[in-house]
């Protein structure tokens, strides 16, 4: 699968705006099929730069999260119920969402305390409505997405500017700052989730692969 995704990236890079759309769709499909998307997250920064890369990944991740959510509410509901049965963390999360709704979805997106693809489906069993779920997911994923797309963009920029030491240092420093800020935000969100009654481990950092 890794080689296939690398081949896809090599093919799509020359397609312009159409490539952005295809990239987002493939990203969404990976989310639905439980395929780790770290290559696509970092690769978007390398291929498209920080701005476009962030938009493309956010679009793909939001689409994938929404499709998984809707599948869990419909055709896959019984299967997802079996997956979450007896899971104390999910039960606590469900109770917290019952009290505070989309706020908890937003905090979970900020703090990667649950595997991304799993929680997308699990959210479909909760009482949160579709539109608040989509909006909370989109905004909650912005910090982590920005940080890891920046990493991909900075790595590509540093590799392309080997002779410009100053530019390379600035790019690497910026990537580190973005990552540190994102980890800080994730830890604050984790504490908020715990205060809502969901027992979780403090994250070391956001997941670049949304899984």
The answer to whether residue 162 scores a pLDDT higher than 80 is: no
Q: How is the chain split into domains, by residue range?
A: 2-195
Per-residue pLDDT, 68: 94
Contact (CB, 8 A) for 208 and 42: yes
pTM, whole model, 2 decimals?
A: 0.77
3-state SS of the chain is CHHHHHHHHHHHHHHCHHHHHHHHHHHHHHHHCCCCCHHHHHHHHHHHHHHHHHHHHHHHHHHHHHHHHHHHHCCCHHHHHHHHCCCHHHHHHHHHHHHHCHHHHHHHHHCCCCCHHHHHHHHCCCCCCHHHHHHHHHHHHHHHHHHHHHHHHHHHHHHHCCCCHHHHHHHHHHHHHHHHHHHHHHHHHHHHHHHCCCCCCCCCCCCCCCC
Range ranked top by mean pLDDT from 62-66, 165-169, 201-205: 62-66
Residues 184-193 have pLDDT tens digits of 556 655 666 6
Residue 50 banded pLDDT, cuts 50, 70, 90? confident
Residues 108-155 have pLDDT tens digits of 888 766 778 888 998 888 888 999 999 999 999 998 888 888 888 877
Residue 11 banded pLDDT, cuts 50, 70, 90? confident
Cβ neighbours around 46 below 10 Å, total: 20
Range ranked top by mean pLDDT from 44-58, 112-126, 163-177: 44-58
- When pLDDT is averaged across residues 84-107 and rounded to a whole number, the result is 78
């Amino acid at each position: 699968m890794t080689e296939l995704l690398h081949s896809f990236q090599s093919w799509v890079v020359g397609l312009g705006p159409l490539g952005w759309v295809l990239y987002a769709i493939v990203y969404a499909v990976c989310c639905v099929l439980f395929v780790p998307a770290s290559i696509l997250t970092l690769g978007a920064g390398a291929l498209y730069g920080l701005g476009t890369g962030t938009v493309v990944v956010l679009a793909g991740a939001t689409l994938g999260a929404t499709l998984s959510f809707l599948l869990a509410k419909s055709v896959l509901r019984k299967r997802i119920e079996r997956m979450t049965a007896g899971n104390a963390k999910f039960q606590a999360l469900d109770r917290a969402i019952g009290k505070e709704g989309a706020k908890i979805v937003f905090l979970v997106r900020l703090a990667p305390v649950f595997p991304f693809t799993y929680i997308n489906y699990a959210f479909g069993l909760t009482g949160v409505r579709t539109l608040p779920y989509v909006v909370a997911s989109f905004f909650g994923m912005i910090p982590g997405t920005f940080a890891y797309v920046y990493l991909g963009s900075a790595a590509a920029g540093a590799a392309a500017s080997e002779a410009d030491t100053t530019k390379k240092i600035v790019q690497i420093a910026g990537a580190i700052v973005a990552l540190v800020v994102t980890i800080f935000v994730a830890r604050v969100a984790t504490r908020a989730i715990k205060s809502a009654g969901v027992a979780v481990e403090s994250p070391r950092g956001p997941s670049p692969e949304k899984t």
